[in-house]
Amino acid sequence: MDYLPLFHTLDQKKCLLIGGGSIATRKARLLLEAHAHLTVIAPTLTNELSDLVQRGEISHQARPFKSNDTLGFHLVISATDNDLTNAQVSKEAQSNNIPVNVVDQPTLCSFIFPAIVDRSPITIGISSGGVAPVLARLVRAKLETLLPHGLGKLASLAAEYRQTVKNHFTNAKQRRLFWETIFNGPIADLSYQGQQAEAEKGLLQALAQANDVAPAGKVYLVGGGPGDPELLTLKALRVLQQADIIIYDRLVSADVLNLARRDAERIYVGKKRSDHSVPQENINALLLRYAKDGQRVVRLKGGDPFMFGRGGEEIETLIDDKVAFEVIPGITAASGCASYSGIPLTHRDHAQSCTFVTGHLKDNSVNLDWDQLAKPNQTLVIYMGLLGIRQISEKLIQRNLPSNTPVALIQKGTTHEHKVIISDLMDIADKVEQLKPKPPTLIIIGTVVSLHNKLNWNR
């Protein structure tokens, strides 16, 4: 992050604007919206600025900038078309530790203005750090369309009843849940539509019905997908943003984790093949402990929790202890890797079925129904097959699957390091030894792989 976004209070603070043209006028409007006490130094003014002077809303000194003009001000903006003046203003202000902005000259600024989405008191500042202002404006336009215009009204309603609600709940978490329900439900809609009286009535009714009892905990077993955060389901995203505790695995991508609620506690229980850092029993115990403590626990797993994810074992413990839970599916590695590599898992000309198998057993062996797997017209998807790839391909060839059957090995599917290695049953093990792909990897075997050349859109 090159700039730290901060919100500056200017209420009745003395601010100085050098320049009286149209850009200066825009800056004056912003400063006045923030209730600044504004002085403008400029030989001439736009009509709008002159009107403000006449109405006594700003002070004006009709002359050019001179030394020591910035002294005593809380914030300074230079919006002149004179480079020398702009540089002088910047130097003087910075040497006196006064925040200064010179319009369109980032090197002369100690702070920059973001693009603003204003739903006061909700205010959003968007900045590209000055490197892509058009993009920042596009982001702003997008947010403008997404956020209800009445958002500010809802925030004002919340401000009005903040203390009343605080007095009602001794339990802080219960209070947060109450507000979340209000903000996500019909009372928020009433407020967006400007029906403040009805919204207030609804809020007070909801408060009267809300009891101040510590909420029961719940576990959400969530599939985080194969890596690309945009592949999360809407439900997974919502639950992640409401979590108190997130217990996550090695396969959960950092980008997905970044979408979680900032205040949530994060517990890593990642397991590597040779290093079971947190035993399964301990993970089960953690889930129980936090849920019984009234927390909203997200157990976040890579891909889908019910696909080679031991999700079943984790919820069994919850059922035994009568802890509430929900399972939220994710996109499994097979779907993600296949789609992002242009390899359809079934195809009328190639494969009428698709089998998912694990290429790694508890004792490090690979023990599968080879006769079944070697049958034609099907696709095999092998999870955790990297170590056993030589054994897997030899066994399939022994059971008469042609040695030239195409094989794709996909590294870190759907992430920025997504890579596809194409080979065949005969050569895949040598190719893996030679290219040393990084885990996690997924193996797809079958003639559908031959479609990769034509259908790969993700180059």
Ligand X SMILES: C[S@@+](CC[C@H](N)C(=O)[O-])C[C@H]1O[C@@H](n2cnc3c(N)ncnc32)[C@H](O)[C@@H]1O
Provide the annotated active-site residues: 249, 271
Nearer to ligand X (CB atom), residue 303 or residue 388? 303
Tell me if 49 contacts ligand X by CB under 6 A: no
Nearer to ligand X (CB atom), residue 388 or residue 440? 440
Which residue of 256, 307, 345, 381 would you call a contact of ligand X, by CB under 6 A? Answer: 307
Contacts of residue 232, defined as CB under 8 A and 6 or more positions apart, other chains included, come to 224, 225, 240, 256, 259, 330
Helices (H), 211-332: 234-242, 254-257, 280-292, 311-320
Give least dist CB 395 to ligand X, A.
18
Tell me if 93 contacts ligand X by CB under 6 A: no
Tell me if 329 contacts ligand X by CB under 6 A: no
Beta bridge partners of 40: 17, 60
Tell me if 413 contacts ligand X by CB under 6 A: yes
Longest dimension (CA), the chain: 94
Give least dist CB 379 to ligand X, A.
15
Which residue of 150, 202, 303, 329 would you call a contact of ligand X, by CB under 6 A? Answer: 303
Tell me if 302 contacts ligand X by CB under 6 A: yes
Nearer to ligand X (CB atom), residue 119 or residue 301? 301
How far is residue 340's CA from residue 415's CA, in Å, rounded to a whole number? 9
Helices (H), 171-279: 172-184, 186-192, 196-209, 234-242, 254-257
Give least dist CB 455 to ligand X, A.
18
Tell me if 412 contacts ligand X by CB under 6 A: yes
How far is residue 242's CA from residue 226's CA, in Å, rounded to a whole number? 22
Number of residues that bind ligand X (CB under 6 A): 22
Per-residue tokens: 48: 């709008």
Beta strands in 94-235 (DSSP E): 100-102, 115-119, 122-126, 218-223
Whole-number Cα distances in Å, 22 to 48, 52, 108: 9, 14, 20
Which residue of 79, 151, 219, 337 would you call a contact of ligand X, by CB under 6 A? Answer: 337
> CA-based angle 103:107:112, to the nearest 5?
50
Nearer to ligand X (CB atom), residue 202 or residue 302? 302
The span of 233-241, 297-305, 389-397, 420-428 binding ligand X (CB under 6 A) equals 297-305
Q: Which of residues 421-450 bind ligand X (CB under 6 A)?
A: 440-442
Give least dist CB 452 to ligand X, A.
15
Per-residue tokens: 336: 């993600």
Give least dist CB 305 to ligand X, A.
6
What DSSP designation does 41 have? E
* Interface characters, 217-256, with ligand X (x: CB under 6 A): ---------xx-----------------------x-----
User: What's the half-sphere exposure (Cβ side, CA atoms, 13 Å) at 75?
Assistant: 22
Cis check: omega of the bond before 329, within 30 degrees of 0 = no
Give least dist CB 328 to ligand X, A.
13
The span of 74-82, 152-160, 190-198, 331-339 binding ligand X (CB under 6 A) equals 331-339
Q: Which of residues 350-409 bind ligand X (CB under 6 A)?
A: 383-384
Burial class of 330 by CB neighbour count within 10 A (0 to 12, 13 to 18, 19+): buried
> CA-based angle 45:50:53, to the nearest 5?
120
Q: Which region, left, alpha or beta, applies to residue 442 given φ > 0 means left and ψ of -120 to 50 means alpha?
A: beta
Nearer to ligand X (CB atom), residue 20 or residue 336? 336
| 172-184 vs 196-209: helix crossing angle, rounded to 10 | 140
CB closest to ligand X, residue no:
303
How far is residue 302's CA from residue 191's CA, in Å, rounded to a whole number? 39
Nearer to ligand X (CB atom), residue 76 or residue 307? 307
Give least dist CB 362 to ligand X, A.
12
Secondary structure class of 145 (helix, strand, coil): helix
Nearer to ligand X (CB atom), residue 175 or residue 250? 250
Task: Specify whether the CB–CB gap between 337 and 413 falls below 8 A.
Answer: yes
* Interface characters, 167-196, with ligand X (x: CB under 6 A): ------------------------------
Nearer to ligand X (CB atom), residue 260 or residue 333? 333
Per-residue tokens: 276: 């079971």
Taking alpha carbons only, the member of 290, 367, 289, 382 closest to residue 334 is 382
Tell me if 90 contacts ligand X by CB under 6 A: no
Tell me if 309 contacts ligand X by CB under 6 A: yes
Give least dist CB 415 to ligand X, A.
6
Tell me which residues touch ligand X (CB under 6 A).
226-227, 251, 301-304, 307-309, 332-333, 337, 383-384, 410, 412-414, 440-442
